[in-house]
Amino acid sequence: EPEVTQTPSHQVTQMGQEVILRCVPISNHLYFYWYRQILGQKVEFLVSFYNNEISEKSEIFDDQFSVERPDGSNFTLKIRSTKLEDSAMYFCASSGQGIPNQPQHFGDGTRLSIL
């Protein structure tokens, strides 16, 4: 069964540095998402992306965050200047073949640790 893959599985970064989290969604999916889960807390929506642009974003997704689909397969989340509170599991997900309300398929996440 096709799956969403995320790299790296664990990223350790100094505070203030830029970090890029990478995702390869399922190949025929059209909707892409990033979520985060701070340790012990709920999974929080960050952003959804469709047709090469952001379709929705949460209040967490401020100017420090950006997403990109640089080629036909990768979907990246960039955090420009990391803060300690950015430490979390970051999950990428993809869904659908043109219909937004489709189950999302998640990757196994990238654990981001900010020192």
Partner 1 sequence: DQQVKQNSPSLSVQEGRISILNCDYTNSMFDYFLWYKKYPAEGPTFLISISSIKDKNEDGRFTVFLNKSAKHLSLHIVPSQPGDSAVYFCAASTGNQFYFGTGTSLTVIP
Q: Residues 76, 21: contact at Cβ < 8 Å?
A: yes
Question: Which residue lies nearer to partner 1 by CB, 48 or 87?
Answer: 48
Q: Of 49, 51, 103, give the one whose Cα is nearest residue 77.
A: 49
Place of tokens 């990238």: 110
Calpha distance 71→110 (Å, rounded) = 20
Q: Which of residues 42-101 bind partner 1 (CB under 8 A)?
A: 42-45, 48, 50, 55-56, 58, 91, 93, 100-101
Stretch that binds partner 1, among 13-21, 36-44, 66-74, 75-83 (CB under 8 A): 36-44
Interaction site with partner 1 (CB under 8 A): 4, 6, 31, 33, 35, 41-45, 48, 50, 55-56, 58, 91, 93, 100-101, 103-109
